Amino acid sequence: MRCLNCYTADMVTPQNGHPAYIECPACGAIELTYEPQDYQVESHTVPIRKVWNEKKGKWESELRIIGWFGGLKSHALLKLLKFGGTLRA
């Protein structure tokens, strides 16, 4: 598959052999190759719409990227801020 970022190289399996993505050796772009679970499909859809830019006087593409952040104990800092406790690992 040709890189859709730089269009100069074919995507390859990363050196670590990770099965969830391929990468471009020329520009470093990645393409996710894993198949999401049914409940994950909607969060991987990136809505793109055309909006009128008044300053530039032309239509432009606008997209919204959704990020899911966190992991084990990712809530700990929130508890620290909310309750004034001490943060422990």
Query: Which tens digit of pLDDT belongs to each residue from 12-41?
Result: 999 998 888 999 999 999 998 888 888 878
Read off the pTM: 0.43
52-70 pLDDT, tens digit each? 999 999 999 887 766 666 6
Contact 71, 77 (CB under 8 A): no
Per domain, the residue ranges of the chain are 21-83
Q: What are the two backbone dihedrals, phi and then psi, of residue 77, each rounded to the nearest 5 degrees?
A: -65, -40
